Amino acid sequence: MSDEQTVDVDGRRVRLTHLDRVLFPATGTTKAEVVDYYARIAPVLLPQLRDRPVSRVRFPRGVGAPSFVEKNVPGGAPSWVRRQQLHAEPEDESSTQVEFPFLDDVAGLVWSANLSAIELHTPQWSVGPRGGFRGVDRLVVDLDPGEGAGLAECAAVAHLVAERLGDDGLDTVPVTSGSKGMQLYAPWSAAAGTAHGSTRAYAKALAEGLARDHRRLVVSDMRKALRRGKVLVDWSQNHLAKTTVTPYSLRGRDQPRVAAPRAWDEVGDDLVQLSPAEVLERVGRDGDLMAR
């Protein structure tokens, strides 16, 4: 395999390099396989990225070697990659400005994957047709197991969170994170904001209420000393300056795993993280669970 080649992706020219480089040493997974996953998962991943600035976690020498978070558009990016100067915290004009890229199509995903951008992270807000801050359009609750807890405990807490959100008219989609825990997503409208306030304040009140009612299982305080055997209901991912791993993104862990949307009837004691092959097979069979 040549060290460098240029391919046509839906009419765009994308330069690919070092496709035989191993990015996941434990499984021998190469950059070519990462590029292939992102190209094949594009029909369900691109809706999650639409109009959201993308922060990338790059692993130039593979997982286990030094990585870095890249927010700005890197030098040498193709001119067709959409980009925009945005405040890191959209409603704070004193915050740092970043020239973010937007991954709008398969070519953008292939370009990003070629840079060994294994993880794609996005905020819970999007930009409008003219590029301005459109506002928050989804709520996320991150479930992070402490030492001695795992996905089974996260699954139990996920049902508690979904029940509380359902009481407030919010439908929830569970996503196993591809790492240790889970995220729960719910669409957030202007009407929800009017009824419940900001997503951050709402999620914080939710977490604190669950921690009071389920002290043996749930904690809302981020101090690690309090989390042994419990699940942190992390409400802070709703801050405008923060991002969360995008559903269907790969994760840069020892084994290649995916932030994978799940059906609620799967969320139980036997819940496991899913591989790229499993996620592609499930999407082919079940469609996009995030769209339901």
Q: CATH number of the domain at 4-123, please?
A: 3.90.920.10
Residues 152/291/69/77 CA torsion (nearest 10 deg)? 160
> Which H/E stretch holds residue 193?
helix 190-196
In tens digits, what is the pLDDT along the chain, a chain of 292 residues?
Answer: 458 999 999 999 999 999 999 999 999 999 999 999 999 999 999 999 999 999 999 999 999 999 999 999 999 999 999 999 998 888 888 888 999 999 999 999 999 999 999 999 999 999 988 888 999 999 999 999 999 999 999 999 999 999 999 999 999 999 999 999 999 999 999 999 999 999 999 999 999 999 999 999 999 998 888 889 999 999 999 999 999 999 999 999 999 999 999 999 999 999 999 999 999 999 999 999 999 7
Is 126-239+259-292 in the same CATH topology as 4-123? no
Compute φ and ψ for 256, nearest 5 degrees: -70, 115
Q: Whole-prediction pTM value?
A: 0.96
pLDDT of residue 2: 57
3-class DSSP assignment, residue 140: strand
Q: CATH number of the domain at 126-239+259-292, please?
A: 3.30.70.3300
CA distance 83 to 138: 22
Spans of all domains in the chain: 4-123, 126-239+259-292
pLDDT of residue 50: 97
pLDDT tens figures, 10-36: 999 999 999 999 999 999 999 999 999
The answer to whether 28 touches 62, Cβ cutoff 8 Å, is: no
> Which H/E stretch holds residue 145?
strand 138-145
CA distance 103 to 109: 6
